[in-house]
Structure 1
Amino acid sequence: MTAGLLIAFAAVLAGAFIQGASGMGFALIVVPVLALVHPEAIPGALLFLMLPLNAYVAWREREGIDRTGAGWITVGRFAGTFAGLGILLVLSTYWLNQFVGISTLLAVLASVLAPSFTPGKKAFIATGLVTGITETATGIGGPPLALVYQHAPVATLRSTVALCFLVGEVISLLVLGISGALKWSHLSYAVLCLPALLLGMGLSSLVHHRLDQRRLRIGVLIFATVSGLAVMLT
């Protein structure tokens, strides 16, 4: 097993644990790491890995799902997918890394500076649009969703974000597959990382109701900032 694969395993395990516990963090942790060690795995392998993770979280806390908000987010998400595909097809590996790094840093900044607000239909659609663009192009889509639900109960945030991710990932995978941007190597890489994902999911189920959400969120944002800068400088 190569050092790069071991690093990817560690990132997938940590990301699955943190997102399973807090509702966000998987892509913020895994995408910058994959961009450094296996850039060819982005975004297909990441999207495949997130399917079981988000299906599990959405089912575990299904009673907290905001179905109305999730519906409007999905409308925007569908439209944003095609813009994200255009970015993915046009950019070279270098510029895609720059886009990954900048997207990560902007997501962190937005997470820190966002004011308190009560989201409505327009906010949900706009969130879905931005998520569709960034997740299809880079695999990162969590921060806009976490922001729009940042003042909701924790169970609502985790379950609704997971459901939106799940629907959006299916859309992105279908569009990427039709366009020819999805490869069998993406699926095989995801299968290779599946044990690390399952372990992280299992660990999150033991502690998700006891973690200090504020400290965990700060840790995710610090790691994402460092990783985003590292991707841009490579």
Structure 2
Amino acid sequence: MSLYALFGSWLDTLSLSAYLCMGLMVLVGAAMQGVGGLGYAMLCAPLAALYFPELVPGPLLAVGAPLALLAYLRERQALDVRVAAAALAGRVVGTAAAAVLLSLVDADGLAIFFALLILSGVALSLVGWKVAPTVNNLSVAGLFSGVMGTITAAGGPPFAIAMQRLPPATLRSTLGMVFFIGTLVSLAALTWVGRMGGAQWFYSLALLPWMLAGFSVSTALARKVSRDRIRHWLLGTALVSSLVILWQAL
């Protein structure tokens, strides 16, 4: 069976210019995540919500899953199992909660609530509040990430605050594992509530090559970025992402 037979109706509605813009967005986001551990969803989710709403949240999550797996595999020797386990436990609970909340509560209201929480955390971190990557802190961050990731496709800001003081390689590898498993759970939840169908998988497959290209670019850059720069990058991306989510919801 040809690709056109499978996806012809969606191919006919996707212009070349729109596809190229989507692809460039994914490429840059994947490169950012490959360097700093975060950045793909923080860049792509707000832009897609504005210009390509058909990508939010399912297709972005589906492309993000293999990106996260690649990040883990590249530096798997640096994985912190304790951090990953605590973050994942919270993420799974948060994702399940989001699936229920989406059927009961307005998604914009939830987005506003969590965006405000993240902005508060960033502000406290900038004035000297030190967040230790303890089991409790990571579990709470995972809970928030699960809810935010399922609702907006941007689940990184809570982890940006909780993991900002981890070594760069450990940060990238551990976040890769957490995001990979957490994203699979989010995709399952979206499928369960009927928000991940044929059209969403079409866009996911179409954007996969751009993600691979972006991650390839990041490999040469990842080892050259210092720990302090990555910490500032994490807080900055969490700040911008939360502001954009808040602006969109309002």
Per the normalisation by structure 2, the TM-score is 0.80
Partner of residue 156, structure 2: 142
Percent of pairs identical after alignment? 30
Matching residue of 1:111 = 122
Amino acid at match of 1:111: V
Counterpart mapping for 1:115-130 below 5 A: 115-130=129-144
Residue aligning to 1:30 = 44
Shift of 1:7: 3.0
What's the CA shift for 1:220? 3.7
CA contact (8 A) 1:80 1:132 kept: yes
Q: What CA deviation, in whole Å up to 9, does each residue of 1:53-94 have, x standing for no partner?
A: 100000111111110121122222111112212344456xxx
1:76-128 Cα offsets, whole Å, 9 max, x none, are 2111112212344456xxx6467557755653553343221323222122111
Name the structure 1 match of 2:7: none
Give the secondary structure class of the aligned counterpart of 1:152.
coil
Higher Rg of the two aligned structures: 2
The answer to whether the 8 Å contact 2:115/2:243 transfers is: no
Q: CA deviation at 1:151?
A: 0.8
**TM superposition score normalised by structure 1:** 0.85
Residues matched between the structures, number: 230
User: Which 10-residue stretch deviates more, 23-32 or 68-77?
Assistant: 68-77
Cα distance per residue 1:21-67 (max 9 Å; x no partner): 00011111000111012223211101101111100000111111110
Q: What 5-or-longer segments of structure 2 have no aligned partner? A: 1-14
Q: Cα distance 1:201–1:101, how it changes in 2: closer, same or farther (>3 A)?
A: farther
Q: Give runs of aligned pairs for residues 1-234 of structure 1, distance below 5 A.
A: 1-90=15-104, 96=107, 100=111, 103=114, 107=118, 110-114=121-125, 115-211=129-225, 213-214=229-230, 216-217=233-234, 220=237, 224=241, 227-228=244-245, 231-232=248-249
Q: Report if aligned partners of 1:62, 1:159 keep a CA contact under 8 Å in 2.
A: yes
Contact 2:98–2:147 (CA<8 Å) still a contact in 1?
yes
Q: Distance in 1 between matches of 2:104 and 2:18?
A: 27
Gaps of 5+ in 1: none
Check conservation: 1:32, 1:101, Cα contact below 8 A: no
Q: 2:203 and 2:181 mapped to 1: Cα distance? A: 21
Following TM superposition, the consecutive aligned residue runs of length 4 or more in structure 1 with deviations greater than 6 angstroms are none
